[in-house]
Amino acid sequence: MSFHKTKFALLESQAELDTFYRQHQDVSWLCFDTEFVGEKRFTTSLCLIQVATPHGIYLVDPQRITNLEPFLRLIEDERILKITHAGDNDYRLLNTLFGVVPRHIFDTQIAAGFVGYKYPVSFRKLVESELRISLDKGYAVTDWEARPFSAKQLQYALEDVLPLHQLWEKLNAKLQKHNRAHWAAEEFTRMESPHFYYRDPHLEAIQHDMMKALNTREQVFLIRLLDWRRRTAETKNYSKEMILPGKLLGHIVRSISNGREGLKHNRRLPEKLVHQHGALFEQLYQADITPAERHLIAQIPAEENDDPREEILQEMLYLLVKYKCFEHGISPGMVMARNGIRKIRNENESMLNGWRRELLGDGLIERLRNFDQLDIQVNGGIVELILKP
């Protein structure tokens, strides 16, 4: 099967998009994908929206149409099933640009993880496996901001959306067969909440690799420095790396205690950078620490001890999780990352409820939740993870 020479409508005016909306208010499903460019800027540029519905195939040009509200209303309409692959990227972009929160969604990448595919599986591999269709990926890094589009660009864009409805039919049937539709729905519902799209602006600083090795004053300075970089990048719509390369952060933090002179004498730091921002960096370092900053400091994860016994416990628990997934034909990546046991227990215990509890069982869930209370007991050839009294 081939998608070549597929008929489609290219929507480039507000009137065309308004007509599209009137014609699609009552459809039961809508597949979509987006093409965007994020390099060298803070705010990603939305360049193309590919849409497939029961009425046909459409390409929406958001560079020509300034008001996308008619399309966005369809994304938020809970009566219409939205079908995507790795749609969290598309929904996150729409949320960032327009504040959109989707309703009634189905994601083929997530669904595939519940029916035997490794998570995350690529769109190309999934289409080839389920539909026996080979996709052309030759334009994966094309310039989507350039106009006019070439015929090959549009063909590539179409291939990202045309198989989606057939994939939904195949994967939904498998989910129903294995009684896992409610498991997948639980994951889809997470993307239908505003909380899913919230990003703490200070998370980058709190989780930065350097944080644990710094003293309090240096930690606060790094928080302020990263905050300045982010706000400046947002104002200028440049990438954060263009404002201040990440490779220079460590040199600045290690030199700032000696003020501008310390920055000047660090041969790794460009003279131009020190001349332009040295006084500001010195001010950021010397300013009094605020209660809000002390609250942020308290959120920095504690240094983990290199405890071989703890490493063994984590590895054994993960292998038990992995075995449970193997038994049920579910990708372990759907449940947790290999190093995610302590993170889940400390930061997101809700992830041990719902379908994960149903899959893993109460005994394993209890051990995951009480990781710090576990001990290893070896009796002959039997190894047990027991809860300490």
Q: Tell me the per-residue pLDDT of 173-226, one tens digit each, with 9 for 90 and over.
A: 999 999 999 999 999 999 999 999 999 999 999 999 999 999 999 999 999 999
116-122 long-range contacts, CB within 8 A, separation 24+? 116/329, 116/330, 116/331, 117/331, 118/331, 118/333, 119/331, 119/332, 119/333, 119/334, 120/86, 120/333
Q: Nearest-CA neighbor of 190 among 117, 107, 119?
A: 107
Number of Cβ atoms within 10 Å of the Cβ of 77 = 18
Longest dimension (CA), the chain: 76
Q: Which of 95-99, 103-107, 227-231, 348-352 has the lowest average pLDDT?
A: 348-352
56, 7 contact by CB (below 8 A):
yes
pLDDT reading at 346 higher than 80: no
Separation CA 297–CA 41 (nearest Å): 29
Mean pLDDT, residues 105-127 taken together: 97
Express each pLDDT in 272-325 by its tens digit: 999 999 999 999 999 999 999 999 999 998 776 678 888 888 889 999 999 999
Q: CB-hemisphere CA count at 13 Å for 64?
A: 18
**Closest among 127, 156, 211 to 6, alpha carbons compared:** 156
Question: 136-140, 229-233, 247-251, 385-389 — which is least confidently predicted?
Answer: 136-140
In this predicted structure, the answer to whether residue 137 has a pLDDT above a threshold of 70 is no
**Cα(97)–Cα(66) distance, integer angstroms:** 12
Helix (H) or strand (E) holding 385: strand 382-387
What pLDDT score was predicted for residue 201? 94
When pLDDT is cut at 50, 70 and 90, the band that residue 138 belongs to is: low
Round the CA-based radius of gyration of the chain to a whole number and report it: 25
pLDDT at position 114 over 60: yes
Residue 2 has pLDDT above 60, yes or no: no
Task: Supply the pLDDT for residue 389.
Answer: 75
HEC sequence for 331-374? CHHHHCCCCCHHHHHHHCHHHHCHHHHHHHCHHHHHHHHCHHHE
What is the Cα–Cα distance from 274 to 281, expressed in whole angstroms?
9
The burial class, CB within 10 Å (0-12 / 13-18 / 19+), for 26 is: exposed
Distance CA 136, CA 151 (A): 13
Give how far Cα 146 sits from Cα of 48, 63, 142, 143, 209, Å.
Answer: 11, 10, 9, 6, 38
Confidence band, pLDDT 50/70/90 cuts, at residue 3: low
Rounded CA separation 303/306 (Å): 9
Query: Distance between CA atoms of 76 and 100, rounded to whole angstroms?
Result: 7
d(CA 348, CA 364): 16
Share of the chain above pLDDT 70, in %: 95
CA angle at 34 for the pair 28 and 36, rounded to the nearest 5°: 165
Measured in whole angstroms, the distance separating CA 184 from the mean position of its chain's CA atoms is: 17
| Residue 103, phi-psi category: left (phi > 0), alpha (psi -120 to 50), beta (remainder) | beta
**Which three-class secondary structure state does DSSP give residue 185?**
helix
Instruction: Find, among 33, 70, 63, the residue nearest to 45 by Cα.
Output: 63
Given this model, what pLDDT does residue 289 score? 97
The pLDDT value recorded for residue 345 is 58
Distance of alpha carbon 265 from alpha carbon 274, whole angstroms: 10
- For tokens 């703490």, the residue is 200
Query: Between residues 340 and 134, which one has the greater pLDDT?
Result: 134
Q: How many residues does the chain have?
A: 389
